[in-house]
């Protein structure tokens, strides 16, 4: 019953008790993995490209990670937080110029052809480096992949590249696709992008647009006795309330990625036969961040940014908007990160009086109507919680005399407004922490990024010290020294507030009691589900 963690951070006492009581009946239940069965899962969106080697995103992984495997997967207790998948071991050279992977023997693609180092070389050089959304940055200096034999792949880099970064990037960025399928024609237009072929425990069987995706068991899977399930079906449920209803009606057995709204969890945890699971997303931490446009004269003033930070009641945000399923943030690295996080940073406790004083000091006195100045606030529309936080932030700013007007855009318009047109003063964004600050975190504050790059510093912030620190960390090979630099990075960001980190959250799964072995790794929802089973 390890997946029913009751001691989660920030979980409200009341719901913790509820969880405990619903957990009791199943504890005596014989949880011996059973073979067979069809697992039906809720899916709220339909990714248009299912190739995880090109699109490294959770929406794609949710489906494709069962079909296409990575070199390594995240793990709760493996060395460096990793466990082997297609690679058995990985070794970085001392000069940072190469990394050697020993590959698993006897692995076959779904079409029966053997998996070899040529596939890894092809994926890295032809797909990850030129085409992948995240790989284009991380594998930028990759120049060659040597394949001395069928089971060895040696990555060669033009510049010293920290092995720690490559290691941390493996779970999300290293999906291996078959060379023989992709070497003909344009990779982006290959039909396998919509019907992926991989080495994973499940084969891609069928996609009915607007209805479902179907995966079937791979009988020739390399894992002993795996997979347990015969079939996985992703049922498309576009409405946010339907996953809960479908679970209760026993039409689906699992709703991951908080498909059941947080506010419904307390009620649904009392429904017999259903369990609420908060584990299995530790490696997929989303951060609630206030993005700031430093081109605005008021916001370029550190005192104003500090005032805004003091005006936000982070505990209220965690308790009311996330209903306890989140943690307050101190800086750009989430608290649950085992390698880089430091609590030793300047903090901004909730203090409206201090915030008002700071604004007075900065010279923005209240006018006769009680207002100091007006701002445009753009909450990202992707999550209910980012929109609710936008509503809250508007109220919090009103308390310190800042009149914020919310601009409600759909996703495409939001991306364009914030990251291309810079038509915002404050924005609320949910960047993802991907296990290493260099993958997608430093880009949030670094300067010199071209216009139009999403989820990057488009607020016109420029800090030479910080840029130098980021550059230094990117070429520091020693793991301890590199980690230390990122601790320094957190301090600098928290002190100068290029953006304000408010909270960190992961997702919640709700499943029927019969679903076993869920949440057994930190990226469970996007891992391969080879050992997941249906009991009874």
Distances (CA, A) of 260 to 155, 211, 243, 329: 42, 19, 6, 24
191-214 residues labelled b (16+ CB within 10 A) or e (exposed): ebbebbbbbbbbbbeebeeeebbb
Segment lying near other proteins (by CB under 8 A), choices 14-22, 141-149, 377-385, 511-519? 377-385
Q: Residue 93 or 449: which CB sits closer to other proteins? A: 449
Report the DSSP beta bridge partners of residue 328: 503
Q: Which residue has the tokens 């029966």?
A: 112
Q: Of residues 466-525, which lie at the interface with other proteins (CB under 8 A)? A: none
Binding pattern for the stretch 380-409 against other proteins, x by CB under 8 A and - elsewhere? -xx-x--xx-xxx-xx--x------xxxxx
Q: Which residue of 167, 203, 214, 217 would you call a contact of other proteins, by CB under 8 A?
A: 214
Q: Of residues 314-353, which lie at the interface with other proteins (CB under 8 A)? A: 320-321
Q: Of residues 255-314, which lie at the interface with other proteins (CB under 8 A)? A: 261, 263-264, 266-267
Q: Of residues 404-463, which lie at the interface with other proteins (CB under 8 A)? A: 405-417, 420-421, 440, 449-450, 452-455
Q: Residues, the chain, total? A: 536
Please, what is the minimum distance in Å from the beta carbon of residue 321 to other proteins?
Answer: 7
Q: Shortest CA distance to 457 belongs to which of 274, 291, 218, 301? A: 291
Q: Residue 16 or 449: which CB sits closer to other proteins? A: 449
Please, what is the minimum distance in Å from the beta carbon of residue 142 to other proteins?
Answer: 15
Count interface residues toward other proteins (CB under 8 A). 83
DSSP assignment string, 323-353: TTSSEE--SSS-TT-TTT----S------HH
Ordered alpha helix ranges (H), 48-206? 58-64, 117-122, 129-131, 135-138, 163-173, 179-182
Binding pattern for the stretch 126-165 against other proteins, x by CB under 8 A and - elsewhere? -----x-xx-xx----------------------------
Segment lying near other proteins (by CB under 8 A), choices 155-163, 234-242, 299-307, 490-498? 234-242
Does position 207 bind other proteins by CB under 8 A? no
CA 310 to CA 323: how far, in whole Å?
Answer: 21
Binding pattern for the stretch 73-112 against other proteins, x by CB under 8 A and - elsewhere? ----------------------------------------
Q: Kindly state the greatest CA–CA separation across the chain.
A: 77
Q: Which residue of 19, 39, 55, 74 would you call a contact of other proteins, by CB under 8 A?
A: 55
Peptide bond before residue 227 is cis, with ω within 30 degrees of 0: yes
Q: Residue 159 or 361: which CB sits closer to other proteins? A: 159
Does position 237 bind other proteins by CB under 8 A? yes
CA 298 to CA 225: how far, in whole Å?
Answer: 62
């Amino acid at each position: 019953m390890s997946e029913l963690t009751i001691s989660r951070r920030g979980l409200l006492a009341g719901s913790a008790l509820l969880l405990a009581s619903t957990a009791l009946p199943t504890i005596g239940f014989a949880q011996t993995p059973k073979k067979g069965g069809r697992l039906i899962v809720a899916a709220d969106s339909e990714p248009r490209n299912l190739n995880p080697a090109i699109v490294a995103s959770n929406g794609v992984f949710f489906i494709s990670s069962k079909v296409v495997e990575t070199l390594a997967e995240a793990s709760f207790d493996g060395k460096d937080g990793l466990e082997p998948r297609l690679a058995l071991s990985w070794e970085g050279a001392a000069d940072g110029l190469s990394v050697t992977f020993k590959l698993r023997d006897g692995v076959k693609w779904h079409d029966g052809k053997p998996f070899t180092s040529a596939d890894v070389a092809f994926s890295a050089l032809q797909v990850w480096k030129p085409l992948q959304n995240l790989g284009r940055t991380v594998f930028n200096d990759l120049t060659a992949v040597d394949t001395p034999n069928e089971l060895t792949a040696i990555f060669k880099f033009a510049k010293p590249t920290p092995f720690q970064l490559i290691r941390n990037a493996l779970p999300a960025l290293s999906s291996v696709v078959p060379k023989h399928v992709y070497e003909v024609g344009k990779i982006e237009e290959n039909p396998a992008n919509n019907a992926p072929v991989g080495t994973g425990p499940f084969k891609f069987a069928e996609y009915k647009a607007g209805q479902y995706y179907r995966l079937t068991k791979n009988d020739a899977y390399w894992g002993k006795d795996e997979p347990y399930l015969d079939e996985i079906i992703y049922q498309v449920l576009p409405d946010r309330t339907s996953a809960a209803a479908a679970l209760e009606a026993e039409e689906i057995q699992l709703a991951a990625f908080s498909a059941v709204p947080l506010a419904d969890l307390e009620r649904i945890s009392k429904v017999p036969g259903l369990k609420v699971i908060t584990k299995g997303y530790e490696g997929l931490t989303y951060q609630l961040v206030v993005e700031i446009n430093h081109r605005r004269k008021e916001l370029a003033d550190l005192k104003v940014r500090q005032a805004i930070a003091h005006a936000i009641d982070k505990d209220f945000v965690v308790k009311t908007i996330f209903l306890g399923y989140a943690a307050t943030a101190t800086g750009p690295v989430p608290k649950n990160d085992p390698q880089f996080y430091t609590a030793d940073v300047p903090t901004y406790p909730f203090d409206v009086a201090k915030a008002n004083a700071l604004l007075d000091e900065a010279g923005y006195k209240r006018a006769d109507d009680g207002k100091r100045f007006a701002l445009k606030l753009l909450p990202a529309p992707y999550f209910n919680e980012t929109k609710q936080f936008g509503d809250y932030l508007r109220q919090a700013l009103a308390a310190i005399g800042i009149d914020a007007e919310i601009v409600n855009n759909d996703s495409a318009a939001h991306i364009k407004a914030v990251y291309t047109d810079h038509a915002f003063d404050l924005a609320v964004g949910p960047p993802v922490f991907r296990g290493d600050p260099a993958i997608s975190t430093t880009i949030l504050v670094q300067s010199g990024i071209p216009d139009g790059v999403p989820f990057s510093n488009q607020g016109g912030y420029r800090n030479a010290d910080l840029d130098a620190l980021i550059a230094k960390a990117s070429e520091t090979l020693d793991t301890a020294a590199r980690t230390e630099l990122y601790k320094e990075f957190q301090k600098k960001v928290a002190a100068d507030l290029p953006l304000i980190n408010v909270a960190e959250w992961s997702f919640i799964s709700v499943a029927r009691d019969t679903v076993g072995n869920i949440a057994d790794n930190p990226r469970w929802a996007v891992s391969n589900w080879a050992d997941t089973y249906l009991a009874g």
